[in-house]
Chains A and B, each alone.
Chain A
Amino acid sequence: MIDQLKTDFDKTITNLKLSNKGIEIRRKSLNQFSENGFPNKRIEDWKFSDLNQIISSNIKGLNFYSNLTSDKVDESIFINKFKHNKIVFINGVISSIDLSHEDETKVSLSKNLDLDEDRKEVNPLISLNNAFTSSYIRVIVHENYSFNNPLIIYNISNNNLKSTALNLRTDIVLEKNTNLKLITLFDDNSENNFINIIQNFDIAQDAILKSYKIDHKKNSNIKYFYNNINLGKNSISENFIFSTGSKFIKNEVNCNLNDQFSSAFINGIINLTDTQHHEIKTNINHLAENTKSYQLIKSVLNDNSKGIYQGKIFVDAKAQKTNGYQLSKALLLNENTEFNGKPELEIYADDVKCSHGSTSGNLDEDSVFYLMSRGLSRQQSKELLINGFLMDAVEKITDFEIKDLIKDLMGIAE
């Protein structure tokens, strides 16, 4: 793999026309990745998802140089339930940008940026992303501006994709007192690729981010989706993870509550069939007084699938009056499924309220009987109960349009 990395890296930097400093930063990241390789189960955070093994058994001929030819957008995949702004990536290349619903003086967008600074590399995948990312975009929402309509980032892949690994990166900056609803939607038509996505959010004082990540369409890709969120005073980050599509996906959210009265919500559903394997990993860092976090993850596992939730709440010594909560509930629909829940609390302050819970179990047969005694078939009863179980987390979505979209994707009719 090392030789392939070097060759592909040389092609990538030639192609991107980077500054010397930019190349130097990327080369450092490349070396970092080369030394470590893909994370494996000997690393604590990856003990339930041995990515090295998953990649080697699913992807043949791993390579990293992605050609930058753009493709035509298939507009039929666009969400048509509500008006929205769009950024469309096809095979990692920006194909179109449409921010026509917004005041253009209030929003800046730059693309294909040089990496101008060393980014904290918390794991080898971030190094890999830093070394190879080709379409790095940054959106800045300027002070006191609220988006009129949601922004949807479409990540589309198709069979024109030449590399087997894809590295994408988006930075979103919300200046003071701004408001953005973001949907990141995957539409995978390529097969057996590794897709590595980073999103960085800097959320300033009084700003509100609502970020919904939708991996819905069944596909054979392996994904790592990393979110890093920095929260300023009195700001809010609401995250929802819809995890049902990929063969493997690990959604990792690192959230720093840097200033007072900031709050972070991470809710999500995992609903799997066949041999799908999905993980949600969160690190919530309470670093200031009076900060709040809330997490609710609901998982439904069918066939031979595997689900994982690792949720960590860290409370710094100065983060008094922290309120941290996390709950994971899993439904295992047959004996070949596996769910691993690992809650972690690391608390250094003494005046805090933190709680966690994790349950897993089968579908309640008495409830099935109740519904069937009202004329529903076993299948209908199961679906109603499963959707009801998942709805608990979906109901946490505070945006009604987007909640309806999610319900539509789940096939829940009103």
Chain B
Amino acid sequence: MLQIKNLKAKIDNKEILKGLNLDIKPGEVHAIMGPNGSGKSTLSNVLSGKKGYSVSGEVKYLNENLLDLEIEERAHKGIFLAFQYPLEIPGVNTNIFLKTSLNAIKKAKGEKELDAIEFLKLVKQKAAELKFDEKILSRQLNVGFSGGEKKKNEILQMSILNPKLSILDETDSGLDIDALKTVSEGVNALRSKDSSFLIITHYQRLLDYIEPDFVHVLINGQIVKSGGSELALELESKGYESLS
């Protein structure tokens, strides 16, 4: 699904990613753990196409050159980034945003767009699964949402858009234990043999709920160690310093 070879990324002439390699196959869940400033968020930004980075190396996604695609084309082809800090968009109704987004992706895929009634039915069902108060969806996008509501809203978007590759950027930060469980259940419900996940996190905690197939340690712009889910437990007890 995704093959990253020797990926380097600079911002303001500072090199953040220094030759990163990663291979994600359909159906796999990969976790990337690393200390602050190791390049975790840069990786998720570069994969979803955020401007401002000078990037080199190769990223193949479903046999296409991912780096050649525009931000929205990546979304159309099934890449989803759950933001670490979802943005507040004043004046934009959450439901209208969700519908615009879903239909933009459906249109790009050549599928039939949903009308208002079909959409509401879908969103109601997904919101209920995530224990997300649907009243919130008639409010302005993320405006006045609590930290937990913002993160749940990201997962709701993910479950509505049904992506092939989901990148979760520190989705666990700012969540209480109940919200963490609900969010994890939402993610687990989307796991299938065709969809893959890249989970970026500081802590092992989230991985108690979403069990990864692989864990990678990112330090100073490179993956320094990879292993199975047991690696996360090892990091939790020994810290990152033992690896750097």
B49 located at the interface, meaning its Cβ lies under 8 Å from any Cβ of chain A in the complex: yes
Q: Check B71–A373 contact: CB distance below 8 A.
A: yes
B239 located at the interface, meaning its Cβ lies under 8 Å from any Cβ of chain A in the complex: no
In the complex, which residues 62-99 of chain B have their Cβ closer than 8 Å to any Cβ of chain A? Answer: 70-72, 74-76, 80-81, 83, 86-87, 89-92, 96-97
Interface size on B, residues (CB 8 A): 30
Q: Check B49–A385 contact: CB distance below 8 A.
A: no
A73 located at the interface, meaning its Cβ lies under 8 Å from any Cβ of chain B in the complex: no
B120 located at the interface, meaning its Cβ lies under 8 Å from any Cβ of chain A in the complex: no
Q: Check B108–A375 contact: CB distance below 8 A.
A: yes
> Chain A residues near B92 (CB, 8 Å)?
384-385, 387-388, 391
A380 located at the interface, meaning its Cβ lies under 8 Å from any Cβ of chain B in the complex: yes
> Chain A residues near B90 (CB, 8 Å)?
388-389, 391-392
> Chain A residues near B201 (CB, 8 Å)?
none
27 interchain pairs, CB-CB under 8 A:
A366-B87, A367-B89, A369-B71, A370-B87, A370-B89, A371-B89, A371-B97, A372-B70, A372-B75, A373-B48, A373-B72, A373-B80, A374-B75, A374-B161, A375-B102, A375-B105, A375-B108, A376-B72, A376-B101, A380-B100, A384-B92, A387-B92, A388-B92, A388-B140, A389-B91, A390-B91, A414-B96
A7 located at the interface, meaning its Cβ lies under 8 Å from any Cβ of chain B in the complex: no
Q: Check A369–B51 contact: CB distance below 8 A.
A: yes
A348-382 contact mask (Cβ, 8 Å, vs B): 1 or 0: 00000000000000001111011111111110100
Contact among B71, B80, B102 with A372 in the assembled complex (CB-CB below 8 Å)? B71
B157 located at the interface, meaning its Cβ lies under 8 Å from any Cβ of chain A in the complex: yes
Query: Taking the nearest CB of chain A, how far is it from the CB of B26, in angstroms?
Result: 21
Interface size on A, residues (CB 8 A): 26
Q: Check A377–B91 contact: CB distance below 8 A.
A: no
B104 located at the interface, meaning its Cβ lies under 8 Å from any Cβ of chain A in the complex: yes
B50 located at the interface, meaning its Cβ lies under 8 Å from any Cβ of chain A in the complex: yes
Query: Taking the nearest CB of chain B, how far is it from the CB of A363, in angstroms?
Result: 12
Which residues of B are in contact with A by a Cβ distance under 8 Å? 48-51, 70-72, 74-76, 80-81, 83, 86-87, 89-92, 96-97, 100-102, 104-105, 108, 140, 157, 161
Contact among B81, B91, B96 with A373 in the assembled complex (CB-CB below 8 Å)? B81
Q: Check B104–A380 contact: CB distance below 8 A.
A: yes
A382-405 contact mask (Cβ, 8 Å, vs B): 1 or 0: 001101111110010000000000
Closest 7 A/B residue pairs (Cβ): A388-B91, A391-B91, A375-B75, A374-B101, A372-B71, A388-B92, A375-B104
